[in-house]
């Protein structure tokens, strides 16, 4: 299954969080024994990540997780376009599945 596409818009200097519910065929994906990780980069092939999201499995049996970025991290990013993806994985990367990808637009803040 190919990763879904979901583009994000984050206000520079603000906290950001998105809650996701994973389902396949209308049934919640069981995320028991899975972890999640996500990074954003200035280009898809950039050597270093511009930021790393905090990913938390909220309710494993309901297939819910949260991807977040604190205000200090978004404040340190230059305004503009970035790319991200989100993966779920088991211990030792036994199973890795990219579930979401897209762009991140960082909107420049005015108040500093």
Which residues form the domain of 57?
A: 14-90
Is residue 110 a part of any domain in this protein? no
pTM assigned to the model: 0.92
Is residue 96 a part of any domain in this protein? no
What are 47-99's pLDDT values in tens digits? 999 999 999 999 999 999 999 999 999 999 999 999 999 999 998 889 999 99
Is residue 101 a part of any domain in this protein? no
Return the pLDDT at 96. 95
Task: Please give the distance of CA 52 from its chain centroid, rounded to a whole number.
Answer: 8
Q: Is 63 left (phi over 0), alpha (psi -120 to 50) or beta?
A: left
Total domains, the chain: 1
Is residue 98 a part of any domain in this protein? no
């Amino acid at each position: 299954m190919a990763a879904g596409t979901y583009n994000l818009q984050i206000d520079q200097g603000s906290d950001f969080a998105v809650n996701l519910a994973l389902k396949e065929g209308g049934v919640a994906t069981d995320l028991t024994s899975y972890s999640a990780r996500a990074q954003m980069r200035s280009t898809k092939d950039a050597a270093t990540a511009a930021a790393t999201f905090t990913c938390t499995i909220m309710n494993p049996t309901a297939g819910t997780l949260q991807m977040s970025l604190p205000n200090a991290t978004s404040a340190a990013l230059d305004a503009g376009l970035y790319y991200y993806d989100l993966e779920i994985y088991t211990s030792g990367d036994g199973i890795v599945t990219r579930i979401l990808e897209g762009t991140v637009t960082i909107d420049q803040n005015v108040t500093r």
